[in-house]
Amino acid sequence: MAPVELKYTLVDDISSIHDSLKAEFLKGKSRSIEFRKQQLSQFAYMMKDNLPLFKEALKQDLGKPEFEALLSEMSLCIDETVQAYNKVDKWAKPEKAPFNLNFTLLNPRVLKEPKGVVLIIGAYNYPAFVTFSPMAGAIAAGNAVVLKPSETSSAMAALVTDLFPKYLDPSMYRIVNGAIPETTKLLELKWDHIMYTGNGKVGRIVAAAAAKHLTPVSLELGGKNPVFIDPSYDLKLAAKRLSWGRFSNAGQTCTAPDYILIPTEAQDKLVAAFTEVYNAFYPDGPLKSESYARIGSDAQFARIKALLDDTKGDVVLGGETDAEQKYIAPTVVRDVSPEDSLMSQEIFGPILAIVPVKDMDEAIAFVNARDHPLAAYAFTSDAKLKKKLIDNTQSGAIAFNETLLHAAIEGLPFGGIGESGTGHHSGKWGFNTFTHFRSTFDAPKFAEIALNNRYPPYSEKKSKLMEKLMLPRMPPRVGASPSLAARIKAWLPALLCVLLAAGIGTRLTQHTATLAFVQRLLSSGK
């Protein structure tokens, strides 16, 4: 299907869009929680009212099945926006600082304030989720927003451009469409936060542009996500869950499993399991299936096909391609070496590479020798192995016996580490990303009684008093035994419970001298 013609924003208009949003933000309307909730409600209804149109746009851009459009995009976005609506009152409420006797009179608090005017740059593969999810957080946090959709997903970008002003306040939320010239102009401007989803090459350009203005940046960049497979695990179930995670959206998912590490002796059984699952998923073949997507652009098709053409591994499933349809079959390649073309970069397509290893120690070393991935997966029932993988690897997320789902689980941050990105979005994590946590306190006049000793002229008496007031009780030195006071303090609650349980509590007044002795020990710190 031919891409929808997308009208780009005039480059000369981009500065004025930014300036008008800044001026409107400074009027303070978005500090109102009621205003934020109105916009969140409108945003949710924009998606819900036009769900058939969004499904159709995703079909046009990616050949995405309606089921996937709902499951992995629109339902998540609507749910996240409604949750932000329901919880923004709580999220935005100022928090009291932890109690501290020295400063409690000052009523120290943390205010949750919007950062200002923020820029969200989306990607083509999940054009709703990677823009609407952070958008919900930015609205909830009270920011003005410029949303830059991917020009590759032209049908979705055109639809959003049409719907935004019908549902959202156009003085606070705007769309900028375009390619490199328009994005370059956007990055020349000073924003209060930038969130970019895409690849590391462009991520570095975004970060460098933001650094000129000291603008904070969140980058969601993806990477080669490894899968550790314990041969004792149910390999058919593993193959089923991996096939879903890899072949959904034709593999164009930043958190999708990229390659599998499995002991050599179990590779044949895993391939047999993949074959069984493959035939069950696509009984008439994936080319004819209504449950399989297409590649998002000709350039991406050519890149993925080149990786497949150059592999020295053994293609055991799939491998067929059709340039006209931008179709690449779900593909499994076994006996892939570390130097293979499929290991040279993130595949970001429907190809799953199997890299045989000696054991899990070799698998861990293999992963640690490469950039930190956005996600790591492991299929095992062994609790010790799970802990070993958590303790000895680094990734944006690590999930056991499933794939992809962490992006949909409420309360979990969505983001990477190192080469796979920085920062988070989704739910309250998105709210936090676009929020400035502003410290405040208010010193009453009568607090001068407690604060008066800080003023010159200084004296030895004042210094000693400040030492007692300001210095904390120190922990035991390394190698030293805890003090008697610390041991008594640790056991005292249990001792009192025993005394009370024995019915002695009513006679504690007879032991005033003992309690006074304990109190002196604790206050002395000895």
Of residues 306, 203, 251, the one with CA closest to residue 63: 251
CA–CA dist 32, 225 (Å, integer): 41
Torsion angle, alpha carbons of 321, 322, 325, 326, to 10 = 50
Of residues 431, 375, 417, the one with CA closest to residue 134: 431
DSSP 429-484: HHHHHTEEEEEE----GGGHHHHGGGSSSP-HHHHHHHHHHHSPPPPPPTTPPPPH
| Burial profile 13-26: b = 16 or more Cβ within 10 angstroms, e = fewer | ebeebbebbbebbe
Q: What phi and psi values does residue 149 have, to the nearest 5 degrees?
A: -70, 160
Q: Are 380 and 364 in contact (CB under 8 A)?
A: no
**Helix boundaries (H) for 224-294:** 235-247, 267-281
Q: Are 259 and 336 in contact (CB under 8 A)?
A: yes
Q: Are 361 and 265 in contact (CB under 8 A)?
A: no
HSE-CB for 369 with a 13 A CA cutoff: 8
CA–CA dist 235, 229 (Å, integer): 8
Q: What phi and psi values does residue 374 have, to the nearest 5 degrees?
A: -70, -30
Total Cβ atoms within 10 A of residue 171: 14
* Alpha-carbon dihedral sign for residues 192, 195, 196, 201: positive
Q: Are 393 and 415 in contact (CB under 8 A)?
A: no
The three state secondary structure string of 356-408 is EECCHHHHHHHHHCCCCCCEEEEECCCHHHHHHHHHHCCCCEEEECCCCHHHH
CA–CA dist 221, 224 (Å, integer): 10
Active site residues: 220, 254
Instruction: List 241's β-bridge partners, or say none.
Output: none
Instruction: Report, in angstroms and rounded to the nearest whole number, the Rg of the chain calculated over CA atoms.
Output: 29
Residue 510: DSSP 8-state: G
Cα angle 199, 201, 204; round to 5: 105
